[in-house]
Amino acid sequence: MSGDKKQAKKVISSGNAELDGRMGGGLPRGTLGLIEGNSGSGKSVLSQQIMWGALQDGYTVSLFSSENSVKSLVPQMSSIDLDIMEFLLLGKFRVYPVEFSHLGDNAVTELIQAMKRENEYSRDLIVVDSLTSAIIHTTHEQSILNFFEEAKRLCAQGVTILVTLHNQAVASDIVGSIRSMCDAHINLKAEQDGQKLVKILEVAKIRGAASVTGDIVGFDVEPGWGMRVIPISKARG
């Protein structure tokens, strides 16, 4: 996508029409987004879907991952029909594995500095999956808020930032402050319904969305297909 075409397109699309419809048409560029959820709720899959959609539209993407290396990410995304190899080879997609346990209290500070350096290359989308382990090794709550404040400043320069977070990793008062700072908040849940594990997606807010948000929907992650939005009634059986 040329610079002019990128300017014409105002959103980061997931590449999934059903999912975009639930997200008000996609994430407006310059958004600071939070994907929050419990273990196994699909946070990484949703962030991968959005990264793939951005790459398909010609945007450049950088991922800071505590969950995957390049070696593990490629087959994982390929298994749900999200092929990223070409984008990696072309330098359109960069993956930075991070081990926050080695950084201790400096984890969130080092991360935001790395994101600032990456933004110097005019990346369109920066994803952190996940911030949970960085927060676990941080003893000062204010540094967590500082991270999101600095991320917000980066977004004001035009980059879109997406952060995934386990919803039990942060004290409730800090979580409230984080949610208010973010332009987009997507909440995921994995609930046990009898013998069935039900995945639920709630679009709590997306500021500047092209259409109304606030939907609560179920979704499946199917091998060879990816994310598939399904009605809540069907999801819960």
Single out the residue of 217, 77, 102, 107 nearest to residue 169, CA to CA.
107
The owner of tokens 């929050």 is 36
Locate the domains of the chain by residue range: 3-235
Higher-pLDDT residue of 114, 236: 114
Kind plus residue range of the DSSP H or E element containing 187 = strand 184-193
pLDDT at 213: 65
Give me the CATH topology for the region 3-235: Rossmann fold (3.40.50)
In the predicted structure, residue 2 carries a pLDDT above the cut 60: no
Distances (CA, A) of 53 to 15, 24, 93, 115, 143: 4, 15, 12, 21, 31
Three-state DSSP class for 64? strand
pLDDT tens sequence across 74-99 = 999 999 999 999 999 999 999 999 98
